[in-house]
Amino acid sequence: MTVGELPPDVRVERRVRPLGRRAGDRSWPPGRAALGCRIVDLPRVADCRGNLTFIEGSEHVPFDIERVYYLYDVPGGESRGGHAHRELEQLIIAAAGSFDVVVDDGTRRERFFLNRSYFGLYVPPMTWRELDDFSSGSVCLVLASRRYDEGDYYRDYDQFVAARAGEGTP
Ligand code: TYD
């Protein structure tokens, strides 16, 4: 499902615009999604006692879920992420509240606004991501395809871009 097909009352927005970056400065050609990132429409069991969403590995996400972590108590104005992964795949969900996820494939950059617990943003390997604009009380739930491995990270943006361009060591 693409963002353009979402119900009009749902505020999952795809905003394409040049953004400030942590590393360097470059203008970003707007208009195309960062490669491979997409909104996943998760199952919803509507119930007047409270709604329920479930996620099964390799069924609702394109990988076996090896790890789950979540960000919470994020102070206003703070940002998270600022890295890419060599192999890791992730599904990022606004389990509570809202926040933005900026994804970047080394040449293009796109901002997703997440504020529904039944949508996830799939982020493939080799995608730089930054999370910001967290609302008060928000919870960012992340499903991951692998266990934590610091060796899987690119934490330097220029190294990431070089690797994407095939100029560095992947
Ligand atoms: P990091 O992935 O950089 O956080 P974020 O991208 O959300 O801002 O991780 C922050 C710290 O937490 C880092 O020291 C590693 C540690 N950490 C783990 O030990 N296990 C995990 O599963 C994750 C995601 C992080």
The CATH number assigned to the domain holding 99 equals 2.60.120.10
**In terms of DSSP bridges, do strands 109-114 and 119-123 run parallel, antiparallel, or are they unpaired?**
unpaired
Query: What is the structure's pLDDT at 51?
Result: 96
Domain assignment present for residue 48? The answer is: yes
* Ligand 1 site, residue 148, Cβ cutoff 6 A: yes
Query: What is the structure's pLDDT at 34?
Result: 53
Domain that holds residue 154: 37-164
Domain assignment present for residue 21? The answer is: no
Gap from CA of 71 to ligand 1 centroid (Å): 10
What percentage of the chain has pLDDT greater than the value 90? 76
Chain centroid, CA 35 distance in Å: 12
Domain assignment present for residue 83? The answer is: yes
pLDDT value at 110 more than 50 = yes
Domain total of the chain? 1
Indicate which residues carry an active-site annotation. 83
Q: Whose CA is nearest to atom 21 of ligand 1?
A: 148
Query: What is the structure's pLDDT at 102?
Result: 96
The residues pairing with 93 across neighbouring beta strands, listed in sequence order, are 120, 141
pLDDT value at 3 more than 70 = no
- Cα gap 89→12, rounded to integer Å: 21
Quick check: helix, strand or coil at residue 29? coil
- Cα gap 46→117, rounded to integer Å: 13
* Ligand 1 site, residue 80, Cβ cutoff 6 A: yes
Domain assignment present for residue 11? The answer is: no
Q: Whose CA is nearest to atom 12 of ligand 1?
A: 148
Domain assignment present for residue 62? The answer is: yes
pLDDT digits (tens, 9 = 90+) for 5-60: 544 444 444 443 333 332 222 333 333 345 689 999 999 999 999 999 999 999 99
Q: Can you tell me the mean pLDDT for 61-69?
A: 97
Query: What is the structure's pLDDT at 2?
Result: 41
What value does the mean pLDDT of the chain take? 84
Query: What is the structure's pLDDT at 4?
Result: 41
Domain assignment present for residue 13? The answer is: no
Q: Whose CA is nearest to atom 15 of ligand 1?
A: 150
The whole-model pTM stands at 0.82
Quick check: helix, strand or coil at residue 160? helix
Q: Which band of pLDDT confidence, cut at 50, 70 and 90, is reported for residue 167?
A: low
